[in-house]
């Protein structure tokens, strides 16, 4: 399943049955951070008569004015001498970077922008499936086949799969089953190879990407998160379609920060994406490894994404028992809401 808990993924990740951030700097007293920042900036070699030369290299002098910058909680020093400050969002209550004008976190702002967007899907949009299927055990293979079968009729376009298992007997046994469900078995497992089969499809089309990469060695955590990603993304075309009709370029769960171009990811690497917003130039091949979670953030700005579950829940910073408790409770609420709405 999803792959993003650890940044250094091996080229061929293992998987199993349905099978993790950074501390937040929170403002402690009103105005104190301003004086602390000013003391640091006053001694900085980049302070040129009240202008930060590092910022002015890529912006105008007003935006580079130190007195203006140190007052904004959402900003951080361009050379890392002081960090941004997290506060409580007036929209959702999470502690995060807050836009000073709206007192809302980035996710709340993005959701509002997405909900008012006007980018309808075409009536003849086709839904394609790209699937990375690599498992070590027969039980794992059977689990993921059952999940695919549950949703297979949603995909009215081309279905492409990379299939691998280290056990040759298992491979020979289940290759016929893979061929029954997929139009093509890919020879490579990188996302660029898997997505390349759709680069010439209609700009109206949608591609769903899912995978079997193991998230955690803790079986209970792995099982929980795998099931959540399947239910909130793979089995959730109805919400994905609505979000895209409202303007989203891509849809997924567990949106979080990442070290790619646009600094975000769908942690776990399950997503739906408009073909026109990925294959809009030759650069779509970048980020093309088996670190599937980072891929979209190499090509699409986070303001164009829609998160269906687990907004900015930083799994990699949590203890396993905390993950189980938090995600189980949130998923129960999500499941109840999805059945009543």
Is the same domain home to 190 and 308?
yes
Distance, in Å, from the CA atom of 2 to the CA atom of 212, rounded to the nearest integer, reads 7
Residue 336 lies in a domain: yes
Is the same domain home to 264 and 211?
yes
Is the same domain home to 149 and 231?
yes
The answer, yes or no, to whether residue 10 has pLDDT greater than 50, is: no
8: which 2 tokens? 């250094």
Is the same domain home to 194 and 298?
yes
Residue 16 lies in a domain: no
Share the mean pLDDT of the chain. 82
Q: What is the DSSP string of 162-192?
A: EEE-S-HHHHHHHHHHHHHH-SEE-S--SHH
Distance, in Å, from the CA atom of 72 to the CA atom of 62, rounded to the nearest integer, reads 14
Q: Is 32 left (phi over 0), alpha (psi -120 to 50) or beta?
A: alpha
Q: Structurally, how many domains does the chain consist of?
A: 2
Is the same domain home to 280 and 144?
yes
Is the same domain home to 134 and 104?
no
DSSP 65: B
Question: What pLDDT is recorded for position 103?
Answer: 77
Distance, in Å, from the CA atom of 157 to the CA atom of 140, rounded to the nearest integer, reads 26
Question: What pLDDT is recorded for position 101?
Answer: 66
Is the same domain home to 80 and 133?
no
The answer, yes or no, to whether residue 116 has pLDDT greater than 50, is: no
Is the same domain home to 245 and 270?
yes
Residue 26 lies in a domain: no
Distance, in Å, from the CA atom of 194 to the CA atom of 190, rounded to the nearest integer, reads 6
CB burial class (10 A; 0-12, 13-18, 19+) of residue 84? middle
The answer, yes or no, to whether residue 221 has pLDDT greater than 80, is: yes
Question: What pLDDT is recorded for position 217?
Answer: 87
Residue 122 lies in a domain: no
Residue 25 lies in a domain: no
Question: What pLDDT is recorded for position 106?
Answer: 66
pLDDT category at 250 given cuts 50, 70, 90 is very high
Is the same domain home to 134 and 79?
no
pLDDT tens-digit profile of 125-149? 899 999 999 999 999 999 999 999 9
pLDDT tens-digit profile of 176-199? 999 999 999 999 999 999 999 999
Residue 55 lies in a domain: yes
Question: What pLDDT is recorded for position 50?
Answer: 87
Residue 153 lies in a domain: yes
Q: State the pTM of this model.
A: 0.67
Final residue of a domain: which of 74, 95, 115?
115
Residue-level length of the chain: 341
| Exposure string for 166-176, b = 16+ CB within 10 A, e = fewer | eeeebeeebee
Question: What pLDDT is recorded for position 190?
Answer: 92
Is the same domain home to 172 and 105?
no
Question: What pLDDT is recorded for position 276?
Answer: 87
Contact 250, 307 (CB under 8 A): no
**How many distinct helices (H) and strands (E) make up the chain?**
11, 14
pLDDT tens-digit profile of 166-179? 999 999 999 999 99
Final residue of a domain: which of 80, 115, 150?
115
Question: What pLDDT is recorded for position 30?
Answer: 57
Distance, in Å, from the CA atom of 254 to the CA atom of 256, rounded to the nearest integer, reads 6
Distance, in Å, from the CA atom of 134 to the CA atom of 186, rounded to the nearest integer, reads 12
The answer, yes or no, to whether residue 241 has pLDDT greater than 60, is: yes
The answer, yes or no, to whether residue 73 has pLDDT greater than 90, is: no
Average pLDDT of the residues in 146-170: 96
Q: Which structural domain range is residue 108 located in?
A: 32-115
Is the same domain home to 325 and 222?
yes
Question: What pLDDT is recorded for position 60?
Answer: 55
Question: What pLDDT is recorded for position 312?
Answer: 85
Nearest to 15 by CA among 35, 1, 26: 1
Residue 6 lies in a domain: no
Q: Which CA distances in Å does 230 have to 24, 209, 235, 270? A: 29, 11, 6, 8
Contact 317, 22 (CB under 8 A): yes
pLDDT category at 7 given cuts 50, 70, 90 is very low
Question: What pLDDT is recorded for position 15?
Answer: 41
């Amino acid at each position: 399943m999803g792959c993003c808990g650890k940044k250094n993924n091996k080229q061929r990740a293992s998987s199993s049955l349905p099978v993790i951030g950074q501390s937040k700097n929170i403002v402690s007293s009103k105005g104190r951070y301003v004086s602390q920042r000013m003391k640091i900036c006053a001694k900085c070699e980049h302070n040129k008569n009240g202008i930060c030369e590092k910022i002015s290299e890529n912006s105008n002098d007003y935006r580079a004015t130190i007195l203006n910058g140190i007052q904004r909680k959402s900003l951080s020093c361009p050379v890392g001498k002081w960090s941004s400050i997290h506060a409580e969002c007036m929209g959702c209550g999470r502690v995060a970077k807050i836009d000073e004008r709206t007192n809302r976190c980035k996710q709340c702002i993005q959701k509002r922008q997405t909900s008012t967007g006007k980018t309808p899907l075409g009536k003849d949009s086709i839904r394609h499936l790209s699937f990375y299927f690599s498992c070590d055990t027969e039980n794992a293979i059977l689990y993921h086949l059952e999940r695919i079968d549950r949703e297979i009729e949603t995909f009215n376009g081309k279905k492409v799969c990379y299939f691998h298992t280290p056990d040759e007997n298992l491979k020979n046994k289940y290759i016929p089953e893979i061929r029954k469900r997929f139009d093509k078995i890919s020879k490579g497992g990188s996302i660029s190879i898997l997505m390349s089969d759709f680069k010439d499809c209609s700009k109206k089309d949608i591609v769903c990407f899912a995978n079997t990469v193991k998230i955690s060695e803790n079986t209970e955590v792995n099982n929980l998160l795998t099931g959540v990603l399947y239910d909130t993304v793979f089995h959730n075309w109805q919400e994905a379609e609505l979000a895209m009709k409202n303007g989203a370029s891509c849809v997924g769960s567990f949106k979080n920060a990442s070290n790619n171009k646009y600094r975000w990811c769908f942690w776990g690497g399950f997503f739906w994406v408009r073909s026109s917003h990925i294959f809009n130039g030759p650069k779509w091949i970048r980020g093309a490894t088996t670190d599937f979670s980072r891929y979209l953030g190499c090509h699409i700005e986070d303001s164009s994404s829609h998160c269906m579950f687990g907004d900015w829940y930083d799994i990699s910073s949590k203890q396993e028992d905390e993950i189980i408790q938090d995600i189980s409770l949130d998923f129960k609420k999500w499941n109840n809401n999805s059945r009543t709405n």
